[in-house]
A and B are shown apart, each in its own frame.
Chain A
């Protein structure tokens, strides 16, 4: 561990110092980095079973290939992030195979079932856009050298996932009829889900270690705005409604529903009518995890013990 104080560490990375190994970190820096990487690794990992179970809805062998190529990328990204965590002294065995499923740190949105092709392509369009928004900010700003280098590959591939999602959203919208209706239904629950993913608004956010240690550069609200700046115009251009618009006067995107609000996971429906709720209530819902949490985690563990027994 570094002999620096936390304040010296913060000043050093704010000054542009790039950290290369765990020996150079203060405990506070290491802890903030472990949390950030765990969220990243878990999100990439759990997106794989979520996309994999949805990929059976692919309409052709070509689209099966694209859907599975995306899943393969996500698993590789997860692997790389867990490897980075191992360098910091964390155990991949414990993180992937031994943690109770509800202890995973991926966003609540990834604990929901993706039930048809429209939902899978909106996941690629919305969630992977959120992923790029978050990770490209980390790539530009992180003070941790190994993560910066690992993100070259990850950013490149996430761009392809996003393109797949957006191209298909345009196709479904253009087709009209049932295709368009399915797309709109998917957007109706997945748009607010992604908005919520970016977390507490800046006015409520306590000190952010991730900003102070220069593990990222943008605040939650800035990231949420960046995501909307790409997503809202896309949806408008294909005639799909989203509950947000650009306020020309301020240049900011404004939500047209109470935020945050309640969600009925069984019905995949946001309860806008019940009005704004507290973030404590949101955190409680997140902590309880979503309907697919255990199923997704168990799907990644199913055969591990059995095969290990054959090999020994």
Chain B
């Protein structure tokens, strides 16, 4: 089963910055939403969202943590 890497971002409360809290592999976006919600449940997040790793584009360097397999 081919899986896609999604990065997970969340903010705890209104007014706080969106923070990268982790990442996961899932077969598609709908499963990724479920996995994100059940895996990263350490807080009552005000907002959580997921982004496919392939849609994160590097701006100032090509070898950063988000490059290739690198971990966010």
Contact = CB atoms under 8 A, between A and B. Distances in A.
A21 B63 CA distance: 8
Nearest to B40: A153
A157 B43 CA distance: 10
B1 A308 contact: yes
A83 B23 contact: yes
A94 to B, nearest CB: 14
Contacts of A89: 69
Contact of A72 (B1, B38, B65): B38
A30 B68 CA distance: 17
Majority secondary structure, A binding face: helix
A146 B71 contact: yes
B67 A21 contact: yes
For B1, B23, B38, B65, which residue has the most chain A Cβ atoms within 10 angstroms?
B65
A84 B65 CA distance: 12
A235 interface: no
Contacts of A181: none
Contact of A80 (B20, B39, B69, B70): B39
B1 A311 contact: yes
Interface of B: 1, 20-25, 38-42, 63-65, 67-72
24 contacts: A20-B65, A20-B70, A21-B65, A21-B67, A21-B68, A21-B71, A22-B70, A23-B63, A23-B68, A76-B40, A76-B41, A79-B24, A80-B22, A83-B24, A87-B69, A87-B70, A87-B71, A92-B25, A146-B65, A146-B72, A150-B22, A153-B42, A156-B42, A308-B1
Given A23-B70, A76-B39, 13 more contacts: A21-B68, A21-B71, A76-B38, A79-B39, A80-B22, A83-B24, A83-B25, A83-B71, A84-B71, A87-B71, A146-B71, A146-B72, A153-B42
